[in-house]
Chain A
Amino acid sequence: MIKADQVSKRFGRFEAVKSVQVHVKKGSIYGLLGSNGAGKTTLLKILSGIIEADHGKPTIEGEQIFERPDIKKRILFIPDQPYFFHQTSLLQMASFYKAVYERWNEERFRQLYEHFALDPKAKLSRMSKGMQRQAAFILTLSAMPDALILDEPFDGLDPVMRQQVKNLLIQDVSSRKMTVLVSSHNLREMEDFCDAVGVMHKGSLLYEKDLEELKTDVSKLQVAFKKMPNESFLKGMNVMHYEKRGRVLTCIVRGNEGDIDRHVRSYEPAIYDVLPLTLEEIFTYEMGSVGYEIRNLIV
């Protein structure tokens, strides 16, 4: 549904996005993850048609997006800082949205602002960050988009609101097959929400995968031996990272579970456990393998 084909963007001398290839399937929730300054926001802005790509083809359902009002009517973008017109209230913003988005659902709008208990006549600029974000979601979801592009959407929302907003998004995904592309740093939160993820670093996409596939591709082994085996034990697997504490080895290994299992068992371990990794761990180790790792700074 949402596709970026070799998309690049340069700001002056800085190359923010380097020939990135992204494919978001219809009805999927795609999490765009990445280090700070990786180019996530730039990519999202290109895919929502706000800025033009220098090279490559960003498309939605096969159609170019930039300067295409007919396509843009069906896609909505919530930036990391929601934008409202100067001195407007929620109701005034709604009348603007109504004029632009043909599918505007007035009943849903009323239901939503009543549910979130926002005063529709109050000035949005005087509301708190979290309330402004709620307002942005109310407006966006009332416009009944086919695709939704969100930049750090849960920033500034309290846990109750997060859950409510997620719940609303999920309802639209399951009932209307809405497609969601979302960037975030909060990996814990993405874990139960996304079904596919893409990881960016320094302007390039490192990889994109189904979340479950990603999780089964990398595993954490805890192995203990009565007698430590020689080097061939580690060399026989694709080890991304390992740690030795006494006789216990903790390894992060990439590869097929069955192969790893056979390999480890052939060394007759005393204790052998395979732990699934959290998304946060996968992210940290994958980033570490491209030289972006946690280095403790002592000041």
Chain B
Amino acid sequence: MFTIDTRSRTPIYEQLMEKLKELIIREVMKEDEQLPSVRVLAQQLTINPNTIQKAYRELEHQGYIYSIPGKGSFVSPVKNEINKERMEMLRKELERIVGEILYLGVPKDEVIKLIETMEEPERREDKND
């Protein structure tokens, strides 16, 4: 499903989280779809199962997935309310990137235009939380 770069400085559980988040955000993995079990993933990637458990726990904490005891982990429905810490981190990251783009001489309008061409993910109205 994906590969882990064991040479990277980034901790493996973080890499795993990033990869899974990407799949969820890009809707490769759909709402309520089941994630591979810890056991299967550990075997496929040759990674310590406790590391995978940790990534899953962290993703659940951030609200990307939910788990049903005895059944496994599933992709959470898209939420309106997002983890604040994560939001703050992403905002800083965006600031850094935009800062560099502006420094390199790209006009502000172009950056704004770029953002306008991006689509917002569809959200369902009947939220249960």
A residues adjacent to B (C-beta < 8 A): 27-29, 163, 166-167, 170-171, 173-175, 188, 191-195, 212, 215, 275-278
Residues of A within 8 A of B39 (CB): 171, 174-175
Can you name the residue of chain B whose Cβ is closest to the Cβ of A275?
B9
Assess whether A27 is in contact with B6, with CB atoms less than 8 Å apart: no
Count how many pairs of residues, one from A and one from B, have CB atoms less than 8 Å apart in the complex: 53
B62 at the interface (CB under 8 A from A): no
Can you name the residue of chain A whose Cβ is closest to the Cβ of B14?
A276
Closest chain-A Cβ to B54's Cβ sits at a distance in Å of 7
Neighbour of B49 across the interface among A163, A173, A191, A215, CB < 8 A? A173
Assembly CA distance A276 to B7 (angstroms):
12
Residues of A within 8 A of B9 (CB): 275-278
Quick check: which of B24-32, B40-48, B68-76, B106-114 contacts chain A, the rest being far away? B40-48
Assess whether B54 is in contact with A167, with CB atoms less than 8 Å apart: no
B67 at the interface (CB under 8 A from A): no
Neighbour of B46 across the interface among A27, A166, A212, A275, CB < 8 A? A166
B residues adjacent to A (C-beta < 8 A): 4, 6-7, 9-13, 38-39, 42-43, 46-51, 54
- A170 with B43, Cβ < 8 A, contacts A191-B6, A275-B9 known: yes
Could you list some 11 contacts between A and B, CB below 8 A?
A167-B46, A170-B49, A171-B42, A173-B42, A174-B42, A175-B39, A191-B12, A192-B6, A193-B48, A212-B54, A276-B9
Residues of B within 8 A of A173 (CB): 42, 48-49
Most B CB contacts (10 A, CB to CB) among A167, A174, A215, A276 go to A174
Closest chain-A Cβ to B108's Cβ sits at a distance in Å of 23
Residues of A within 8 A of B11 (CB): 212, 215, 276
Assembly CA distance A277 to B10 (angstroms):
8
Residues of B within 8 A of A29 (CB): 48, 50
Assess whether B54 is in contact with A170, with CB atoms less than 8 Å apart: no
Assess whether B46 is in contact with A163, with CB atoms less than 8 Å apart: yes
Closest chain-A Cβ to B55's Cβ sits at a distance in Å of 11
Assembly CA distance A191 to B6 (angstroms):
8
Closest chain-B Cβ to A139's Cβ sits at a distance in Å of 22
Closest chain-A Cβ to B104's Cβ sits at a distance in Å of 17
Assembly CA distance A241 to B87 (angstroms):
33
**Beyond A174-B38, A276-B11, 19 extra complex contacts between A and B, CB < 8 Å:** A27-B50, A167-B43, A170-B42, A170-B47, A171-B39, A171-B42, A173-B48, A173-B49, A174-B42, A175-B39, A188-B6, A188-B7, A192-B48, A195-B48, A195-B50, A212-B11, A212-B54, A275-B9, A276-B9
Residues of A within 8 A of B6 (CB): 188, 191-192
Assembly CA distance A163 to B39 (angstroms):
17
Assembly CA distance A240 to B50 (angstroms):
30
Closest chain-B Cβ to A280's Cβ sits at a distance in Å of 11
Can you name the residue of chain B whose Cβ is closest to the Cβ of A281?
B9
Closest chain-B Cβ to A276's Cβ sits at a distance in Å of 5
Can you name the residue of chain B whose Cβ is closest to the Cβ of A194?
B48
Assembly CA distance A192 to B15 (angstroms):
12
